[in-house]
Amino acid sequence: MEQAQHQQQVWFVTGSSRGLGRALVTAALDAGDLVVATARRPGQLDDLVKRYGDDRIHPVALDVTDADAARGAVDAAVSHFGRIDVLVNNAGYANVSPIETTDDADFRTQFETNFWGVYHVTKAAVPVLRAQGSGTVVQVSSVGGRVGGSPGIASYQAAKFAVDGFSRVLAVETAPFGVRVMVVEPSGFATDWAGSSMTVQPVPAEYEDTVGLMNRRMRQNDAGAAGDPQRAAEIIVGAVRRNNPPSHLLLGVNAAEMAMAYSRHQLAESAAWQGVSRSADFAEPYPAPFPPDEAAA
């Protein structure tokens, strides 16, 4: 397997206190690396400091929605370990409600963490990575940020689509500096994402078959989510070590299958409408025949 010779790396991970963030911290430490672990309440990481030692893990308080705090946390990381090799934007959460009845302030607050938090931390770290001439930015998104359409979590999915667009531009802009960008797109994992971290607002009767059904699927599955956060973390650590990591890393059976189905549908639709699409340019034949108008499934 193509893989770079491993040297000890410094990770900077947001949302480290639980879930995938905590699993990533332990996976990186178990791989022999150093970690700056950020959280709103860094005391929640005391057990990891005790286990691995404060010479290997450095907890830092960080609210990712605060741009000044993001710059301060990055400065603290460089001051403590001298560099940042892997930046992981993991902090995020979702609340459930239909778009029609969503509280505007709640929609914006979710977006502040799920997109603007990524923006603030990334922008704070890029000068460090550029000056080093190396580094990897890992953006923890969701398969929903690729395929979309999950009723009830519009703010979360809109933010994840924004993170993907932001990351694609970031990758092009920073590649000349030796910086790589990888977007991670998981499906359901056994974390607290759909537990106490999620607020479910009352679902109007009109949305029981969409938002209500999605909520029941997430919360009433006795078997729990299929994804193992520790496996996911170990996969991410392994991918980052490669000479050529993927630009987008799907994690989980549902993520892989949903993405493939979505891509096939996109390709088929683009091919069916290609003549019409091309006809919008001056130099192309016009009008072009529309494809057959079949009844919606």
C-alpha to C-alpha distance for 86 and 259, rounded to whole angstroms = 26
* DSSP-derived 3-state class of residue 38: strand
C-alpha to C-alpha distance for 128 and 297, rounded to whole angstroms = 51
Is 1 part of any domain? no
The confidence score (pLDDT) of residue 1 equals 37
Is 132 part of any domain? yes
Number of domains in the chain: 2
Residue 150 shares a structural domain with residue 290: no
Backbone torsion region of residue 32, taken as left when φ is above 0, otherwise alpha when ψ lies between -120 and 50, otherwise beta: left
C-alpha to C-alpha distance for 9 and 120, rounded to whole angstroms = 22
The confidence score (pLDDT) of residue 296 equals 75
Residue 245 shares a structural domain with residue 271: no
The confidence score (pLDDT) of residue 200 equals 76
Is 114 part of any domain? yes
The string of pLDDT tens digits covering residues 99-140 is 999 999 999 999 999 999 999 999 999 999 999 999 999 999
Is 161 part of any domain? yes
| CB crowding 258-272: b at 16 or more within 10 Å, else e | bbeeeeeeeeeeeee
Residue 218 shares a structural domain with residue 285: no
Is 27 part of any domain? yes
Residue 234 shares a structural domain with residue 288: no
Residue 275 shares a structural domain with residue 131: no
86-89: strand order across its sheet: 57-61, 34-39, 10-13, 86-89, 135-140, 179-186, 248-251
The confidence score (pLDDT) of residue 215 equals 77
Residue 69 belongs to domain spanning: 10-251
Residue 245 shares a structural domain with residue 98: yes
Residue 226 shares a structural domain with residue 117: yes
Catalytic positions are 141, 156, 160
**C-beta separation of 17 from 40 below 8 A:** yes
Residue 173 shares a structural domain with residue 198: yes
- Rounded to the nearest 5°, which phi and psi values hold at 60? -135, 135
What's the mean per-residue pLDDT of the chain?
A: 92
Is 190 part of any domain? yes
Is 122 part of any domain? yes
**C-beta separation of 36 from 77 below 8 A:** yes
Residue 126's CATH number:
3.40.50.720
Residue 227 shares a structural domain with residue 98: yes
C-alpha to C-alpha distance for 264 and 283, rounded to whole angstroms = 29
Residue 186 shares a structural domain with residue 270: no
Amino acid residing at 129: L
The confidence score (pLDDT) of residue 223 equals 53
Cα-atom radius of gyration of the chain, to the nearest Å?
21
The string of pLDDT tens digits covering residues 249-261 is 999 999 999 999 9
Residue 72 shares a structural domain with residue 161: yes
Residue 68 shares a structural domain with residue 100: yes
Is 149 part of any domain? yes
The confidence score (pLDDT) of residue 23 equals 96
Regions of the chain short of the pLDDT cut 70: 1-6, 191-198, 217-225, 297
